[in-house]
Structure 1
Amino acid sequence: MKHILVVDDELNIRTSLTGILQDEGFQTSTAADGETALQLISEEKPDLVLLDIWMPGMDGIEVLKKIRQLPDEPQVIMMSGHATIETAVTATKLGAYDFVEKPLSFEKLLVCIQNAFKVHQLVSENRSLKARIYRDYSMIGNSPPIRELKQQIGIAAPTSGWVLITGENGTGKELVARAIHSQSRRSDKPFIEVNCAAIPEDLIESELFGHEKGAFTGATGKRKGKFDQAHEGTLFLDEIGDMSLKTQAKVLRILQEHKFERVGGERTIEVDVRVIAATNKNLEEEIRTGNFREDLFYRLNVLPFHVPPLRERRQDIALLAEHFLRAYCRKENAEIKQLSPEVLQALSTHHWPGNVRELKNLIERLVIMTPGERIDLAALPAELRGGGDSGEELRIALECDNYKQAREEFEKEFIRTKLEENDWNVSRTAEVIGLERSNLHRKIKSLGLELEKQ
Structure 2
Amino acid sequence: MKNKILIADDEPNMIWALKRALNKEGYEVMSVENGEEAIEIFKKQEPDLVILDLKMPKIDGMDALRMIKEISPKMPVIMITAHGSTKVAVEAMKVGALDYISKPFDIEELRMIIRKALEYKNLNDEVKYLRGKLKEESSKIIYQSKIMDDLLKMVYKVAPTDATVLILAESGTGKELIANAIHEFSNREKGPLVKINCGALPENLLESELFGYEKGAFTGAISRKKGKFELAQGGTIFLDEIGEISEAMQIKLLRVLQEKELQRVGGEETIKGDFRVIAATHRNLREMVDNEEFREDLYYRLNVIPIHIPALRERKEDIPLLVDYFIEKYSEQMGKSKMNINKSALERMMNYEWKGNIRELQNIIERCVILSYGHEITEDILPNDIRSISYVVDPNFVLPEEGVSLEEVEKKLIIQALERTGFNQTKSAKLLGITRHTLIYRLEKHNIDIKQN
Smaller-chain TM-score bracket: 0.5 to 0.7
Amino acid at match of 1:349: N
Amino acid at match of 1:180: I
- Indicate yes or no: 2:410 matched with 1:444: yes
Aligned to 2:18: none
Displacement of 1:345 in angstroms is: 1.6
TM-score (norm 1): 0.60
Aligned to 1:429: none
Deviation string 1:263-298 (CA, Å, 9 cap, x unpaired) is 111111111111011111111111122221100100
Displacement of 1:383 in angstroms is: 2.1
Aligned to 1:241: 243
The CA distance in 2 between the partners of 1:159 and 1:258, in whole Å, is 16
CA RMSD after TM alignment: 3.8
Displacement of 1:146 in angstroms is: 0.7
The CA distance in 2 between the partners of 1:306 and 1:324, in whole Å, is 24
* Long gaps (5+) in structure 1: 1-33, 36-56, 70-130, 398-402, 412-432
Aligned to 1:98: none
User: Percent identical across equivalent pairs?
Assistant: 43
Judged with a 3 Å threshold, the aligned counterparts in structure 2 of structure 1 residues 317 and 68 are, in CA distance, closer, same or farther, namely farther
Aligned to 2:322: 320
Q: Which stretch shows the higher mean deviation, 331-340 or 350-359? A: 331-340
Judged with a 3 Å threshold, the aligned counterparts in structure 2 of structure 1 residues 440 and 318 are, in CA distance, closer, same or farther, namely closer
Select 1:197's aligned residue among 177, 188, 199.
199
Deviation string 1:329-377 (CA, Å, 9 cap, x unpaired) is 2233333222222222221111111111100111111122222322111
The CA distance in 2 between the partners of 1:338 and 1:441, in whole Å, is 31
Aligned to 1:371: 373
The CA distance in 2 between the partners of 1:58 and 1:327, in whole Å, is 54
TM-score (norm 2): 0.60
Judged with a 3 Å threshold, the aligned counterparts in structure 2 of structure 1 residues 142 and 439 are, in CA distance, closer, same or farther, namely closer
Deviation string 1:20-68 (CA, Å, 9 cap, x unpaired) is xxxxxxxxxxxxxx99xxxxxxxxxxxxxxxxxxxxx999x86699899
Contact 2:263/2:271 (CA < 8 Å) preserved in 1? yes
Judged with a 3 Å threshold, the aligned counterparts in structure 2 of structure 1 residues 439 and 281 are, in CA distance, closer, same or farther, namely closer
Aligned to 1:165: 167
Judged with a 3 Å threshold, the aligned counterparts in structure 2 of structure 1 residues 312 and 64 are, in CA distance, closer, same or farther, namely farther
Aligned to 1:184: 186
Aligned to 1:303: 305
| Aligned partner of residue 203 in structure 1, secondary structure | helix
Matched ranges for 1:34-433 at <5 A: 138-387=140-389, 390=391
| Aligned partner of residue 203 in structure 2, secondary structure | coil
Judged with a 3 Å threshold, the aligned counterparts in structure 2 of structure 1 residues 140 and 439 are, in CA distance, closer, same or farther, namely closer
Judged with a 3 Å threshold, the aligned counterparts in structure 2 of structure 1 residues 135 and 226 are, in CA distance, closer, same or farther, namely same
Amino acid at match of 2:146: P
Q: Which runs of 4+ in 1 moved over 3 A?
A: 61-69, 134-137, 433-442, 449-454
Displacement of 1:136 in angstroms is: 9.8
Judged with a 3 Å threshold, the aligned counterparts in structure 2 of structure 1 residues 68 and 221 are, in CA distance, closer, same or farther, namely farther
Amino acid at match of 1:215: A
| Aligned partner of residue 336 in structure 1, secondary structure | coil
| Aligned partner of residue 271 in structure 2, secondary structure | strand
Amino acid at match of 1:244: S
Judged with a 3 Å threshold, the aligned counterparts in structure 2 of structure 1 residues 442 and 165 are, in CA distance, closer, same or farther, namely closer
Displacement of 1:260 in angstroms is: 0.5
Displacement of 1:439 in angstroms is: 5.1
The CA distance in 2 between the partners of 1:376 and 1:269, in whole Å, is 58
Judged with a 3 Å threshold, the aligned counterparts in structure 2 of structure 1 residues 64 and 252 are, in CA distance, closer, same or farther, namely farther
Amino acid at match of 1:322: D
Contact 1:170/1:354 (CA < 8 Å) preserved in 2? yes
The CA distance in 1 between the partners of 2:232 and 2:359, in whole Å, is 27
Contact 2:138/2:181 (CA < 8 Å) preserved in 1? no
Contact 1:137/1:178 (CA < 8 Å) preserved in 2? no
Judged with a 3 Å threshold, the aligned counterparts in structure 2 of structure 1 residues 339 and 225 are, in CA distance, closer, same or farther, namely same
| Aligned partner of residue 173 in structure 2, secondary structure | coil
The CA distance in 1 between the partners of 2:302 and 2:183, in whole Å, is 16
Judged with a 3 Å threshold, the aligned counterparts in structure 2 of structure 1 residues 326 and 434 are, in CA distance, closer, same or farther, namely farther
Displacement of 1:440 in angstroms is: 4.3
Contact 1:258/1:272 (CA < 8 Å) preserved in 2? yes
How many residues in Structure 1 have an aligned counterpart in Structure 2? 309
Displacement of 1:445 in angstroms is: 4.1
